[in-house]
Structures are given as structure tokens and as C-alpha cells.
Copies of this chain bind each other. A is one copy, B any other.
């Protein structure tokens, strides 16, 4: 968009700049100002710097900046499979996948109990953190490799595939060795080296939305993973930072249908970390399924009052049973079924 006092030379200069990189520039002269529409390969437009040219008032990008994760050239929504061959659990448009487990792996006993709680409630994938990014350097930072080993043991015991967070590109190798799915957390959504390493890990990736990322930035982060050849990406809405203090973050429930319209990737919801309060987890899970999410991921803990991380949001007892019921009953209302691993052949 040119400013009202742009001259003909200003316009010609813009057109020449666009054509110099192989683009096409369509000039619309108006009464007040002139608008120039650019057509061409967006990659070639990155360094045009049109805003620095005289007479240019503003520049608006019109087309999507992501490609591989866009639904534009990949119309059907994708299903991502998690777990070992023959026991894979789907996350995709036909199902509602329930993922549950403790925020942090604290001990073999606690992890096993949490996994059993999760499985009894209908979960088919186990979550649990061995590496914990914490705001305070004085808070519990996770058990590391020891935690990964515990998760692997619990997978053996329960049959549940495992998703666990990786917070450093240097750890992607070891985490991929143990885990069935890598989680990139909200603080690392724009840690591009980590995204690229996850893209080369050979594992499906659960990509949480940055707590202050726009949906477009989130899809661009997914594009970083996809660009390394890995399209097994599941997006996870987990709340955004707003002015409202009553919840830790504001769950952006609208992001689910918006992502599903823009991208073919599955998208699930984490109500536990969004709200930070366990009394909201069941109603928000119901809302997530009703809005059309491809799954939900929640914190459970056998003894929330001694949890080393996020105890106040972990479900147990009556609330977990209520959630289990919602996960059983609601998917049918949106034309889906609860996701299961296939029964092993006898």
C-alpha cells in the first residue's frame, strides 16, 4: 500500500523491485492512494524490504507463510500413530484420544500408579515428564535419563505408549530412544534448533502452543519440524497468556476449529496446564471434545498433595471418574469414537 503522496517514480520503483526477484506487481490506482498486489513465490519476497522504499505506507502479507503443514495442498486431515508397530494408537479426525499421566516422573511406584489410574480412566497413551523446564532454578528439574527408564518400565507393565518432553536439542537422541512420542513444551515452541532436532528424530512430535504464540506462529513452528521430513506432528492447545488472573492461562478453545481449517495436522487440548486448577479440568475437557478436538491430555497423580510439580491441577478419585465418563460418552456426539490401540492378535 502506497502513501497518499507517493509519486509515480515511487510506484515504479516498487514494481521494479518486485520484478527483479521474478515476481509480478499489479498496480491498482485509487482516488486517494495506490495499492500494489504482489504475485509470485513468497520465498523470493523475503528480502524485498518494501517498507524501506519511499512512498510505501504499509505491507500486508496475504497468503499463508507455511506450506507443508497447510491444508491448502493436503486437504484431508491427517492421522498420527503413536506407539510400537501393532500397538499403535491413532490421533486424528475419526477419534478422540485420551492421554493422561503425572506432570513429572518422581519414582517408579508413583509413575506406575498414575499410569494405572490413567488406563482405568480410559487413557490409551501415558504422559510423564523426565525433563522439566521450570521458571525457578530452585524448583524440581526432573529425573532425566532415570525418569526415561522408569517410563519405559511402566510402558512394559501397562502397554501404554509414552509421550515425554524434551527440552534441549542435545537430549533428543536419548529421549527418542525411550519415548514413543516427543513433546515440545510451550516455552520451547520457538526453540528452532530443538524443533529441527525433533524433526530428525524419527518419532512423532507433540507440539504445544507457545503461551504467547499466535496460531500462525505455532503453525510456523510445526513447519520447522515438517521441513526436516517429519510430518507426524500433533498440535496441542494449552492456554495463552492474557490479562485474566483467575486461570494460569486462558484456554483458547477457538484455536481448535481454526487450526483444523488451516492445517491437516491433528490438534488436542491440555486443560490441566491451561487452567492450573483441577476444578476446571473436567468441564474444559468436555468443552474440548465438544468443540471437536482430536484428543485431550490431562495430569493425574496418585497423591496430588505430595506431587513435585503442579499438584494443584492433578486429577484423582471422583474427578477422574467424571472425566472418564465424559471421554466415553461425548465423542459419539461429534461423530467420533474414543481412540484405542488395536487388540493384539491371539
Q: Which chain B positions have C-beta within 8 A of A49?
A: 304-307, 311-312
Flag whether A12 is at the interface (Cβ < 8 A).
Answer: no
Flag whether A88 is at the interface (Cβ < 8 A).
Answer: no
* Contact B135 A190, beta carbon cutoff 8 Å: yes
Contact with B along A306-346 (1 / 0, CB 8 A): 11100110100000000000000110011000000000000
Contact with B along A204-224 (1 / 0, CB 8 A): 000000011011110010011
The answer, among B29, B215, B216, B291, for a CB contact under 8 Å with A284, is: B291
Surface stretch bound by B, among A33-41, A112-120, A121-129, A151-159: A33-41
Q: Nearest Cβ distance between residue A77 and chain B, in whole angstroms?
A: 15
* Contact A169 B169, beta carbon cutoff 8 Å: yes
Q: Nearest Cβ distance between residue A240 and chain B, in whole angstroms?
A: 6
**Distance A241 CA – B245 CA, assembled complex (angstroms):** 12
Q: Nearest Cβ distance between residue A21 and chain B, in whole angstroms?
A: 12
Query: Known contacts A26-B28, A32-B63, A191-B191: does B305 contact A283 (CB below 8 Å)?
Result: no
* Contact B312 A137, beta carbon cutoff 8 Å: no
**Distance A261 CA – B291 CA, assembled complex (angstroms):** 23
Q: Nearest Cβ distance between residue A309 and chain B, in whole angstroms?
A: 8
Q: Which chain B positions have C-beta within 8 A of A169?
A: 168-170
Q: Which chain B positions have C-beta within 8 A of A43?
A: 138
Flag whether A65 is at the interface (Cβ < 8 A).
Answer: yes
Contact with B along A257-284 (1 / 0, CB 8 A): 1100100000000000011000110011
**Distance A229 CA – B287 CA, assembled complex (angstroms):** 35
**Distance A240 CA – B308 CA, assembled complex (angstroms):** 31
Flag whether A139 is at the interface (Cβ < 8 A).
Answer: yes
Q: Which of A234-270 contact B (CB under 8 A)?
A: 240-247, 250-258, 261
* Contact A244 B257, beta carbon cutoff 8 Å: no
**Distance A255 CA – B136 CA, assembled complex (angstroms):** 20
Contact with B along A183-214 (1 / 0, CB 8 A): 00001101111000000000000000001101
29 contacts between A and B (CB under 8 A): A28-B28, A30-B37, A46-B139, A47-B307, A47-B308, A47-B311, A49-B304, A49-B306, A52-B312, A58-B62, A60-B62, A65-B135, A136-B220, A137-B223, A137-B227, A168-B193, A169-B169, A211-B212, A240-B243, A243-B243, A244-B252, A247-B254, A247-B258, A256-B283, A261-B279, A283-B292, A284-B291, A286-B291, A329-B333
Across chains A and B, which 8 residue pairs bring their CB atoms closest together, nearest first?
A: A212-B212, A26-B28, A30-B39, A290-B290, A28-B37, A51-B312, A49-B311, A187-B190
Question: With A31-B40, A284-B291, A330-B333 given, can you name 15 additional A-B contacts, CB distance below 8 Å?
Answer: A26-B26, A46-B138, A46-B139, A46-B140, A47-B306, A49-B312, A60-B60, A133-B192, A212-B241, A215-B246, A251-B252, A253-B287, A254-B275, A286-B333, A290-B330
A residues apposed to B, CB below 8 Å: 1, 4, 24, 26, 28-33, 35, 37, 39-40, 42-43, 46-47, 49, 51-53, 58, 60, 62-63, 65, 72, 133-140, 167-170, 187-188, 190-193, 211-212, 214-217, 220, 223-224, 227, 240-247, 250-258, 261, 274-275, 279-280, 283-284, 286-292, 304-308, 311-312, 314, 329-330, 333-334
